[in-house]
Amino acid sequence: MGAKSIIGIGNALMDVVVKMNDDSIPEKNGLIKGYMTLVDAEKSASINEQTDGLDKILAPGGSVANTVDGLAHLGSKTAFVGKVGNDQLGQYYHDGLKAIGASPILFKSSIPTGVAMALVSPDTERTFGTYLGAAIELSPEDITPELFAGYDIAYIEGYLVQNHDLVRKSASLAKEAGLTIALDLASANVVAENLDFLKDILTNYVDVIFANEDEAKAFTGKAPHEAAVELASVCEIAVVKTGAQGSLICTGNKLIEIGIEGTTCIDTTGAGDLYAAGFLYGYSKGLSLETCGKIASIVAGKVITVYGARMDDGLWSDIISEVEKIQA
């Protein structure tokens, strides 16, 4: 049996990654370090102006779109569902997905394409000021059974929980179509604000859950090991990412510890998203959970050596070489 195909549903946001000299800009704008904070169009433009003169990287992004980028580079059949503005950034977003071999399923809005300002501190932590723009207009009406035809795994972005009906319909139709459902918990504050809803979604629809230790604690109130076990009592597979300590994968009564790939961290932007790409790639090929975790660690370990969530062909060549050795 061949590898399974993966469709991602998420916020279509242009990423603007900024290398900062200190933490004054997040502090000035009321952004919580290490978290994602929603901002309006005016504040987004203001933050962009305040960062003029600093190094910036512009790329099609959003959490699940970053994962789709990784999956495409690893060779998976993949697609991304989102909503963009009928503007230049929206066209750039579409062309970016096509360029990597992912299928763009992009609905159009009359409001501008969303923008995620990723402010990278000198200690490599990243803080997001996110203007959702057109992305927030992705609606339950856009999600139809036909979207899932030809795909085996649906990966849903946790940040979409600002629209409960959208997440529920996406999960329900994907489950009815026979897909395996994976969900990322997005951010600790998002989890805390939507806890009851997320518990219901995990219990009724989700097969694979991804969380970092803060998100896992927000969901369970427990430390990583205990949180992984509790999450795995709700879903088939729970993945808890523990930063410099690596990650934990739990299914049933089995808990697997995955180490990190030794490397120098420059920017953590996209680390969790690319971890999910590596894991889902391995999972789609029917590899063991330990091997899935090792592949995920390799991919995440590479992306933190660059600014932003996109890697060049040279890094991807190195990744694919290492992944092939693991599978041999």
E strand or H helix at 239, and its extent?
strand 237-241
Task: State the Rg of the chain over Cα.
Answer: 18
Residue 2 pLDDT greater than 80, yes or no: no
pLDDT above 90 covers a percentage of the chain that reads: 78
Task: Answer whether residue 38 is part of any domain.
Answer: no
Q: Which domain holds residue 217?
A: 63-108+133-327
Between the CA of residue 178 and those of 32, 150, 184, 219, 293, what are the distances in Å?
39, 11, 20, 27, 24
Half-sphere exposure of 185 (CA within 13 A, CB side): 31
Maximum distance among all alpha carbons in the chain? 54
Q: Which of 266, 190, 213 is closest to 32 using CA atoms?
A: 190
Could you tell me the two tokens for 222? Answer: 């427990």
Residue 321 CA to residue 44 CA, distance in Å, equals: 39
Residue 259 CA to residue 263 CA, distance in Å, equals: 12
pLDDT in tens, 150-178: 999 999 999 999 899 999 999 999 999 99
Task: Answer whether residue 187 is part of any domain.
Answer: yes
Residue 1 pLDDT greater than 70, yes or no: no
Identify the burial level of 203 via C-beta atoms within 10 angstroms of its C-beta, where 0-12 means exposed, 13-18 middle and 19 or more buried: exposed
- CATH number for position 184: 3.40.1190.20
Mean pLDDT is lowest, of 7-11, 183-187, 204-208, for 183-187
Stronger pLDDT, 87 or 266, i.e. the higher one:
87
Quote the pLDDT of residue 267: 78
pLDDT in tens, 237-258: 999 999 889 999 999 989 999 9
Task: Specify the number of domains making up the chain.
Answer: 1
Task: Answer whether residue 238 is part of any domain.
Answer: yes
- What is the rounded (10 degree) CA torsion for 171, 172, 175, 177? -110
Determine if residue 120 is left, alpha or beta; phi over 0 gives left, psi from -120 to 50 gives alpha, anything else beta. Answer: beta
Stronger pLDDT, 1 or 281, i.e. the higher one:
281
Q: Which of 113, 118, 119, 128 is closest to 39 using CA atoms?
A: 128
Alpha helices in 21-157 (DSSP H): 24-28, 41-50, 63-74, 88-99
Task: Answer whether residue 173 is part of any domain.
Answer: yes
Task: Answer whether residue 17 is part of any domain.
Answer: no
Task: Answer whether residue 28 is part of any domain.
Answer: no
Q: What is the mean pLDDT of the chain?
A: 93
pLDDT in tens, 290-302: 999 999 999 999 9
Q: Which residues pair with 128 in a beta bridge?
A: 36, 118
Q: Is the dihedral of CA 82, 312, 291, 3 positive or negative?
A: positive
Q: What is the mean pLDDT of residues 44-62?
A: 89
- Band (pLDDT 50/70/90 cuts) for residue 16 is confident
Quote the pLDDT of residue 262: 64
> What is the phi/psi pair of residue 34, to 5°?
85, 0
Question: Can you say how many angstroms the Cα of residue 19 is from the centroid of all Cα atoms in its chain?
Answer: 21
Q: Which of 12, 31, 10, 269 is closest to 115 using CA atoms?
A: 12
Question: Can you say how many angstroms the Cα of residue 294 is from the centroid of all Cα atoms in its chain?
Answer: 18
Task: Answer whether residue 104 is part of any domain.
Answer: yes
Task: Answer whether residue 248 is part of any domain.
Answer: yes
Residue 273 pLDDT greater than 80, yes or no: yes
